[in-house]
Structure 1
Amino acid sequence: MANVAPGRPGRKELPWWLVAAVAIAVVVAIVIATSEIYSQVFNIVLKGVGITIFVTIVAFAMASALGLAVALMALSPSRLLSQSARFYVEIIRGIPILVLLFWIAFAGVPAFVAGWNFVMAPLTKAGLVGELQVRDVSLLWRAIIALTIAYSSFIAEIFRAGIQAVDAGQIEAAKALGLSRYRRFRHVVWPQAFRTILPPYSNDFVAMVKDSSLVSVLGVADITQMGKVYAAGSFRFFETYSIVAYIYLILTVGLSISLRALERRLRAQGVPQD
């Protein structure tokens, strides 16, 4: 049988980039296992993985919920709601995430605490509630709030575009069948929109893993912060940041491959309607 020429339909090309990446990962793993210095750095930096995963999952989940709310506001027939959503998206997207992180941590939270104490002053005087202090809001949660707000603006646009991509005729047919707005969204709009939004939505999730490293500027003990502290004390910058990059690559590349597999599976089988 003649060989099928590369690029022809029916032949799946070998992902050489992945082969090269796995080969490098294996070599680095061997170096870590056999080198006392790299092993020590790896074990220290690895302590920050839990915080990185926690920040990523919590912030992305909250950003998704807020982003969906903003997207629905943007699609609302109410001009006030739609324009408010557009204002939110444009303003938040125009601010660098690092700047927003600093603003939330050192300006937004203190302002919120001051406002909260002002509103709750009568209850505080009566001894029913205690006065809230800025230090009561941990730097970890300030960072999570900042990432939530930053990513919600991008996710809102993804959701809005996906919902608008659904054929209007199917929505009208669902209305004719007497389905409520919630049931139309759940059974007709969302299953179809999900297939459209999954690729960019997945990309944002992977990006969140990388941007979670920004929390290190607040001293949150994630992967990057653990690396910074060790490198500052040992002056082994090459070894430390090589390991930091290695761990992030393991997380992001592994996650990207998994999400792409999910996308292919949904395209092949379709999204469940329930």
Structure 2
Amino acid sequence: MTKKHHYRDYILKELERRQRKNPSYSLRAFSRDLEVPCSRLSEILNGKVGLSESRAVNLASKLNLSPSEQEFFVDLALSEHARSAVLREMAAQRVKAREEAFGKIGEEQFAVISDWYHTAITQILLLKDFDPSVENIAQRLGLSQDIVEKALERLESLKLVMKTPEGRWVADDGKYSSTYGGSSEAARSYFLQMQTKAVEAMSADNKRRWDMGCTMVPTNRDKAKEVAQKIRQFRLELMQELQDCEDKDSLFALSTSFFEMTDLQTH
């Protein structure tokens, strides 16, 4: 399989991004920030040495990559350098599946669909009296400023946000949502991330407002299809009611789950 991407591309892109912000930023400074010896980083970038899984994971966390990009970065490294042939093949298959998704909906679109904070950024821009600076967005959403800057670049390239002549970020489409996407893997990644955010909201030391419930009930599979459709309609109506309110001052997530608990019996 010929890969369209390489993990070295992500390292070089981040180096270039930092050098654009600071022209005096050097490879030595980059190696220091990545906690990789400069000589070893040079060898990695020149293709003289590869990456172990542990080093790939460590690097991915320091390159300000989104969660989906971190997974892809590690898989790219494993597909070349994993010691086990089985692990290399498994990683190669995941790389292939993701690159096929890139081909269908585009790499930037895939990133926007996969990672929760892209939607959050477009929606937080709609809050009343909110100063949409990178610093404020990062603080309100609990993100690093680097991640916010990258997300805004992606969103701007898709015309989902824009920068006014005064330098303020505004949402181009207030009804943008990542709920549905052209890739099942992207949708799966998005929902898993939102489930993690729900768990964080319920932590004992978290002061955010939350209201969640869970009920198990026996029913018929055909009836379940009808209920699923009612849930979708209810969600759309409720979201419209929330969006129509004035003086928006906070960002909430509405999440509904309806899934089968038992395996289908075979006769």
TM-score range, shorter chain: under 0.3
Higher helix share: 1
The TM-score, its normalising length taken from structure 2, stands at 0.24
- Which of these two proteins has the greater Rg computed from alpha carbons? 1
